[in-house]
Amino acid sequence: MTDPQTDSRTDPATASLSAVAARRLAGVEESTRLLLRTVAGIGAEAVAGPSALPGWTRGHVLAHLARNADSLVNLLDGARTGTDIPQYSSEQARDRDIEEGAPRPAQEQLADLRASGARFGTAAALLPDGAWAAEVKHRSGAVFPAAEIPWKRLAEVEYHHVDLDAGYTPAHWPEEFATAEFRRLAEKLAGPAGAGLPAVELLAEDTAERAVIGAGTPALTVEGPVRALLAWLSGRADGSGLRRTPGTDLPVLPPLG
């Protein structure tokens, strides 16, 4: 952990991190509002129905989202206090909490999601500007500045809102989110994560984003809206609506976290 007490008044870089975090937290708040609206409309039987994630009901997705918010509170508290607080107490505890929370009634799921989101917002509001530069550790072991926590929460909410399969689709993703995630996943697939993948050029017709995934010289170009490209890259669509030149089959992409 790094020292969270850096004075942002004399550190422009830290002040910039604080500003970025504040903007992203506003995005989290809006995305959470839309998620709660969707969940409020899910009936009792629908909560127990299958989500778009193999092996998970909608209840599993909702329990995961609530516990993820609390896990990020742990990281925010660690950044504020300068202590190494694990995101989850253990992987086993994380999985157990999701399984135990999945069968709960719709209204209990909604209340938990609302309360955990409020805890996340409160923990973020308590962070002094200098603490956004503090390093925290993801459950995977990756270390990153606390300023990235709001984006990680935003990604959880946006991706899993779609995974609920309750009317919110990739077409609803905010453009800033879709563009940034398109760049992130394309970059991963241009590196070790895309090893063995044939080179493909990606063109976002609405935002003019361009990227190449895989290795070598692209023999295939895939075009479409940035949200549709991201849906394919993230495994939330089969890419059938994307234009291909030449009209060959799309490659099978590795799963990305």
Task: Give the contacts of 72 (CB within 8 A, at least 6 positions apart).
Answer: 87, 120, 123, 149, 152, 153
Q: Per the domain annotation, does 94 fall within a domain? A: yes
Beta bridge partners of 200: 213, 220
The pLDDT value recorded for residue 255 is 85
Q: Per the domain annotation, does 149 fall within a domain? A: yes
Global confidence as pTM: 0.93
Provide the CATH number for the domain around residue 89: 1.20.120.450
Q: Are residues 164 and 198 in the same domain?
A: no
Residue 152: Cβ within 10 Å count: 17
Q: Are residues 149 and 190 in the same domain?
A: no
The pLDDT value recorded for residue 242 is 97
Q: Are residues 148 and 61 in the same domain?
A: yes
Compute φ and ψ for 82, nearest 5 degrees.
75, 25
Q: Are residues 150 and 217 in the same domain?
A: no
Q: Per the domain annotation, does 228 fall within a domain? A: yes
Q: Are residues 150 and 51 in the same domain?
A: yes
Q: 19-28, pLDDT tens digit by residue?
A: 999 999 999 9
The two structure tokens encoding residue 20:
């970025």
Q: Per the domain annotation, does 1 fall within a domain? A: no
The pLDDT value recorded for residue 59 is 98
Burial of 146 (0-12, 13-18, 19+ CB in 10 A): buried
Q: Are residues 157 and 232 in the same domain?
A: no
Q: Are residues 208 and 153 in the same domain?
A: no
Distance (Å, whole) CA 82 – CA 158 = 29
The pLDDT value recorded for residue 111 is 98
Q: Per the domain annotation, does 28 fall within a domain? A: yes
Instruction: Count up the domains in the chain and report the number.
Output: 2
The pLDDT value recorded for residue 13 is 63
Q: Are residues 223 and 153 in the same domain?
A: no
Q: DSSP letters along 99-135, please? A: HHHTTS-HHHHHHHHHHHHHHHHHHHHT--GGGGGSE
Q: Are residues 110 and 236 in the same domain?
A: no
Of 145, 168, 191, which residue constitutes the final position of a domain? 168
Q: Per the domain annotation, does 96 fall within a domain? A: yes
The pLDDT value recorded for residue 2 is 40
* Host domain of residue 211: 176-245
The pLDDT value recorded for residue 167 is 97
Q: Are residues 19 and 121 in the same domain?
A: yes
Q: Are residues 138 and 220 in the same domain?
A: no
Q: Are residues 195 and 138 in the same domain?
A: no
The pLDDT value recorded for residue 11 is 61
Provide the CATH number for the domain around residue 208: 3.30.1050.20
Of 135, 168, 201, which residue constitutes the final position of a domain? 168
The pLDDT value recorded for residue 256 is 78
The pLDDT value recorded for residue 6 is 38
The pLDDT value recorded for residue 257 is 60
Q: Per the domain annotation, does 128 fall within a domain? A: yes
Low-confidence ranges of the chain (pLDDT < 50): 1-10
CB 87 within 8 A of CB 71: yes
Of 168, 185, 208, which residue constitutes the final position of a domain? 168
Q: Per the domain annotation, does 218 fall within a domain? A: yes
Query: Where do we find the tokens 């009901």?
Result: 57
